[in-house]
């Protein structure tokens, strides 16, 4: 996959001079990338969101020459095994045993609103960019069904433009999803036992590319 990114980048860099990206431009983005795994710890167990291919699409609108807003949807099909940290009640299952073997396939659907800033002149062929987004993640889990949780991402990369309405973005990203997983209890001198919501979060790094079509050209 890395070789493909380099081939595409070299091809586009050798294309003719780029057209300017201007305010009010409207783009359709098709996403593809590889998202790496992460471990999530709970009180008595831990789970993994395994690596996999992430894909989706987005609608991007340039509010000025160097800045855009985007609404996008990405999906990660993955496996989410759950393991014990210690012996369970009957003492027969040792730590590190997967408790959902054969039933760990799932998916994460990200719906995000992104803001992206492109550095340099809009007439440049290659534009570095940084961006961030907020939204929700819809988790599809074989054990607990689906759930909707808070999600965010940060990203950075370079946009490479051509003479045509097509361009390509090569980027790295970090995505996170947070969910309430129960309560921790603390003793307060005045109030007695106090329950505090316990949260678990995923942090997944990825490398990807998007193919863009500019409807204003």
Q: Among 33, 27, 180, which Cα is nearest to 110's?
A: 33
Which H helix or E strand runs over 9? helix 2-13
Estimate the share of the chain in helix, then strand, then coil, as percent rounded to the nearest 5: 5, 65, 30
- Predicted confidence (pLDDT) per residue in 62-88, tens digit: 999 899 999 999 999 998 888 887 655
CATH assignment at residue 31 = 2.40.160.20
Q: Among 21, 203, 195, 19, which Cα is nearest to 117's?
A: 21
Q: Kindly tell me if the per-residue pLDDT of 192 is higher than 70.
A: no
The model's pTM: 0.78
Residues 6+ apart with CB under 8 A from 189: none
Task: Tell me how far apart the terminal alpha carbons of the chain are, to the nearest angstrom.
Answer: 30
Of residues 88 and 164, more confidently modeled: 164
Residue 96 Ramachandran class (φ > 0 left, ψ -120 to 50 alpha, else beta): left
CA distance 124 to 118: 11
Domain count within the chain: 1
Which H helix or E strand runs over 212? strand 192-214
Please give the residue range of the domain that contains residue 11: 2-214
Phi, psi of 80 (to 5 degrees): -130, 75
Looking at residues 121-148, what average pLDDT do you find? 85
DSSP bridge partners of 67? 64, 117
Confidence at 157, pLDDT banded by 50, 70, 90:
very high
């Amino acid at each position: 996959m890395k070789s493909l990114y380099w081939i595409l980048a070299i091809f586009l860099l050798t294309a003719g001079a780029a057209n300017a990206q201007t305010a009010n431009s409207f783009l359709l983005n098709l996403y593809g990338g590889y998202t790496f795994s992460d471990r999530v710890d709970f009180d008595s167990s831990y789970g993994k969101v395994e690596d996999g291919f992430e894909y989706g699409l987005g609608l991007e609108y340039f509010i000025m020459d160097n800045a855009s807003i985007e609404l996008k949807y990405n999906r990660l099909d993955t496996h989410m095994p759950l393991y014990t940290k210690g012996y369970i009640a009957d003492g027969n299952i040792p730590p590190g045993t997967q408790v959902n073997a054969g039933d760990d396939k799932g998916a994460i659907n990200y719906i995000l609103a992104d803001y992206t800033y492109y550095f340099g002149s809009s007439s440049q062929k290659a534009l570095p960019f940084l961006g961030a987004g907020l939204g929700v993640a819809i988790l599809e889990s074989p054990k607990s069904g689906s759930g909707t949780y808070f999600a965010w991402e940060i990203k950075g990369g370079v946009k490479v433009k051509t003479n045509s309405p097509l361009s390509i973005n090569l980027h790295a990203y970090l995505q996170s999803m947070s969910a309430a997983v129960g309560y921790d209890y603390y003793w307060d001198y005045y109030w007695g036992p106090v329950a505090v919501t316990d949260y678990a979060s995923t942090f997944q790094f990825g490398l990807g590319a998007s193919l863009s079509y500019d409807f204003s050209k």
